[in-house]
Structure 1
Amino acid sequence: MELRKDAEEIIQGAIGAALPDAAVRRAMEQCPLGEGKVVLVSVGKAAWQMAKAAADLLGDRISDGVVVTKYGHSMGPVSNFEIIEAGHPVPDENSFRGAEAAISLVSGLAPEDLVLFLVSGGGSALFEKPLVSPEELTDITQQLLACGADIVEINTIRKRISAVKGGKFGQLCAPARVFSIILSDILGDPLDMIASGPAYPDSSTAADAVAIAEKYHLRLSPEARRLLEVETPKKLDHVTSCVTGSVRQLCASAKETCEKLGYEPIILTDCLSCEAREAGAFLGAIARTYGDSSRSMAFIAGGETVVRLTGKGKGGRNQELALAAAELLDGVEGAAVFSVGSDGTDGPTDAAGGYVDSFTKAALKEKGISIYETLAENDAYHALQAVNGLIMTGPTGTNVNDLSVLLLKR
């Protein structure tokens, strides 16, 4: 119970420090509002929170706004903005409606006008106007998710088959100025990849897109194949971009809380990028190596893992990471691993992630649940649910990758 309490305190501290309110206010200090009209477009899992921060700061100076976020992530009205909840990780009709509303809002603006464009993770699915049929867009997205493509690869493809990604929305805002505040959810903060870079010059090439399609043997229509070969905007002089918040801050905040709780913290990486079950097994292996240590230790990893789909169960990458760690934690005294998505949702579930400790494997075995079989079926959600191993935070209002921590308490 004490380990679980520590885990919850670390999660609350890290996510609290990553909330976008203060970050938006800091970024706005660099924004030249000018004398013209100001409109707001906010897209992503943290779109509501970012829009609310901007509205609280600027008030009536913003004439109109469109906010597009994930289902369940809106927390009520904001000013006179239109708020649209849409599908993630697969775009739906509301994703298309949100993009159309944003395009309508920025159409016909003058050079002295300003588009305040707030971007957070998840925008790739939530903000979309496809250049192929919605059915093919959904199929291509599902193919990429199922084969284990990483977020950069997925976005490289999405840019080519979209009318708003890869700098194209920035083009549509011209001649108005665009000030883009970006909450990073991709390792290294590549601005052209976060939410597929709607208002940032695209560094990926048509050749990159074609290579990804060949790598994963994607099934594409002739029109989709043609679109992969069309280059995206490489220059947007009227756009200014400011990145704020990232997984580095998430790890640093977790480290600070661990120190307060008496752990000796070590940040292993803020660039974790591998299969979820491999990351879990790695943290479990560290637990075995340091299991005899006489001091309390915390090993922190930030980033974003992937899940290779081999079954039809329910779960997410953080739940799968935690469950994979449980195998090696078995019998290691005072050990726990938890992994959470900073946005409060892990895959298509209502959980933020998973928690396991030295007793999880035995508890699962008592219920007739095999870790190996559960991972093969990608059903970590139900396994963790059976042993009170789900972490539930609800939508947090931020999205800066995932936090995974191994605790060894002495």
Structure 2
Amino acid sequence: MKKDALNIIKNSINDVLPNVSVENFLKDKKFEGNIYTLAIGKAAWEMANSALKVLPKIKKGIIITKYKHSKGSIKNFDIYEAGHPISDENTIKATKKAIEFASNLKEEDTLLFLVSGGGSSLFEIPEKNISLKELQEINLQLLKSGADIREINTVRKHLSKVKGGKFAKLTKSKIMTLVLSDVLGNDLSTIASGPAYPDFTTSNDAFNIIEKYNIKISKKILETLKIETPKKLKNIETHIIGDINKFCESVKKNSELLGYKSIIMVKSMNGDADETGKFIGNIAKDFESKEPTCLIFGGETTVKVKGNGKGGRNQEIALTAALNISGVKDTIIASFSSDGTDGPTDAAGGIVDGNSLKNLKELNIDVKKILKNNDSYNALKKINSLIFTGPTGTNVNDITFILKNNR
């Protein structure tokens, strides 16, 4: 069954790669004036490369993506790699180049803005006199707090010169935005913090999130949060070309091709990764079927970081679920990220079965202690239970699935 699970993962990711989505959307589009491109996010290289195939008349473009996510040079494109999930000096340098590039465009030009998950940290310049170090500290606090992506991006938008629709105000050109959504519900103002989309969050929303998660901020940050974001923009159009719905359907299709009866249980799974792992583990333990079955859970959870170990939300789901399916036969649980990088690791996620806990115990590994230290990566690595895909070039949330096979 592990072979089946890995095939489902591989084929489902291939189905949601951006090349087909970008090319299908652009192939019949007609543009007036010159076309320029800005691509941001973990799927930026793939999206830009696909756009150029359909629109060879793109005059110039910029790509800002995560380290090790560029796959080589592209004609007429400048490529920058920068920090994720925390912005760094290269983020600031690349974003300054992008602003300079966009601010020189004319009204009759079109900026094709290609946005994917990760864009919020990869495309950034802080407001006013906020330093990069201050911004990094706030983002790190938010990421460790257990706040969800909407809450994190609400604060980010009010501290940024480019988020929350502010970037659209910096160019005279028309902006056509194509989005690979990594946000449940496809809230366009939240994806990459909505650089070219009206923002309906308020300064009060940001203050409430800071208070809710006890985020430590200075008076200078407090004053900056009072700056409101644009609520109306005239020069934009936005299209979603990929999301968790398509990803779930792909997993369903690929599991059915292997003979599994497949059921999409949810497409909006969220909340704490640890609790999600317990929940899915209990379902896997108690679920009975007379035929091979695949239960599919789509969404994106969060991890409240308590320790100093290494891991990601999908690895934590898998390892927590392993506690509940110990000794259960003919059962596998796989949890993985569509972008191939789960948290600050090189693994896409984790895959466990009824023997995983026993195998860890034989190595004198205490799973509960490991989870308390958020060190799921190193535990799963010991029993060859990490999923490796490499950077995939897409980003449409995560999938956890259960395979049951009594054949």
One of 160, 165, 168 as aligned partner of 2:166: 168
CA contact (8 A) 2:22 2:241 kept: yes
Q: Which residue of 1 aligns with 2:250?
A: 253
Shift of 1:240: 0.7
What displacement does 1:331 show? Answer: 1.2
* Counterpart in the other structure of 1:219: 216
Backbone CA RMSD of aligned residues: 1.0
Within the candidate set 134, 137, 146, 1:136 is matched to 134
1:384 and 2:371 correspond? no
2:55 match: secondary structure: helix
Pick aligned residue for 1:281 from 274, 278, 282: 278
User: Of residues 246, 254, 263 in structure 2, which corresponds to 1:266?
Assistant: 263
Supply the AA of the counterpart residue of 2:191. Answer: I
CA distance, structure 2, for counterparts of residue 32 and residue 138 of structure 1: 41
Q: Distance in 2 between matches of 1:348 and 1:33?
A: 39
State yes or no: 1:355 paired with 2:351.
yes
Deviations 1:150-172 (A, max 9, x none): 10000000001110100011111
Secondary structure of residue in 2 paired with 1:198:
coil
Quote the Cα distance in structure 2 between the aligned partners of 1:117 and 1:103. 13
Q: Separation in 2 of the partners of 1:100 and 1:32?
A: 29
Query: Residue 105 of structure 1: CA displacement?
Result: 0.7
**Residues 1:16 and 2:11 are matched in the alignment:** no
Alignment of 1:11-410 (within 5 A): 11-29=9-27, 31-34=29-32, 36-59=33-56, 61-131=57-127, 132-173=130-171, 175-290=172-287, 292-410=288-406
Judged with a 3 Å threshold, the aligned counterparts in structure 2 of structure 1 residues 243 and 257 are, in CA distance, closer, same or farther, namely same
The amino acid that maps onto 1:91 is: S
1:330–1:361 Cα contact (<8 Å) kept: yes
Cα distance in 2 for residues equivalent to 1:267 and 1:370: 33
Matched AA of 2:123: F
Q: Hey, what's the Cα distance between the residues in 1 that align with 2:75 and 2:217? A: 42
Deviations 1:297-321 (A, max 9, x none): 1110011011111111000000000
SS in 2 for 1:244: strand
Structure 2 counterpart of 1:9, one-letter code:
N
On the 8 A contact 1:15/1:342 being kept in 2, the answer is yes
Tell me which of 2, 5, 18 is aligned to 1:4: 2
Alpha carbons 1:27, 1:242 under 8 Å: kept = no
Secondary structure, aligned partner of 2:98:
helix
Q: What is the alpha-carbon distance in structure 1 between the residues aligned to residue 110 and residue 256 of structure 2?
A: 44
* Larger displacement relative to structure 2 (121-130 or 104-113): 104-113
Task: State the one-letter code of the partner of 1:224.
Answer: I
8 A contact 2:27–2:54 mirrored in 1:
no
Structure 1 residue identity aligned to 2:103: S
Structure 1: distance between partners of 2:349 and 2:357: 17
Residue pair 1:302, 1:401 contacting (<8 A) in 2 also: yes
| CA displacement, residues 67-90 of structure 1 (integer Å, 9 cap, x when unaligned) | 000011000001121100110000
For 1:346 and 1:152, the matched residues in 2 are separated by 19
d(CA) in 1 for partners of 2:330, 2:168: 52
* C-alpha displacement of 1:341: 0.6
Per-residue CA distance 1:352-385 (angstroms, 9 max, x = gap): 0001011100000000011111100100000000
- What amino acid is the match of 1:185? D
1:31: how far off? 4.3
> What percentage of aligned pairs have identical amino acids?
47
Under a length normalisation based on structure 2, what TM-score does the superposition of the two structures give?
0.98
Q: Which amino acid aligns with 1:45?
A: K
Find the aligned partners of 1:248 and 1:179 in 2 and give their Cα distance: 23
Displacement after TM superposition at 1:32 (Å): 4.0
The answer to whether the 8 A contact 2:178-2:240 is kept is yes
> Which runs of structure 1 show a deviation greater than 3 angstroms over 4 or more consecutive aligned residues?
29-32
Amino acid at match of 1:234: K
CA distance in structure 1 between the aligned counterparts of 2:214 and 2:360, rounded to whole angstroms: 38
Distance verdict in 2 for CA 1:30–1:153, change over 3 Å: farther
Give 3-state SS (helix, strand or coil) of 1:62's partner.
Answer: coil
8 Å Cα contact 1:84/1:98 also seen in 2: yes
One-letter code of the match for 1:237?
K
How far apart, CA to CA, are the structure 2 residues paired with 1:232 and 1:26?
33
Secondary structure of the structure 1 residue equivalent to 2:201: coil
- CA–CA distance in structure 2, aligned partners of residues 67 and 108 of structure 1: 17
Post-superposition offset of 1:29: 4.7
Amino acid at match of 2:257: K
Q: Please list the CA deviations of residues 212-261 of structure 1 after superposition, one character each: whole Å capped at 9, or x if unmatched.
A: 11111221122211121221011111111111100111110000111111
SS in 1 for 2:242: coil
- Cα distance in 2 for partners of 1:237, 1:302 equals 34
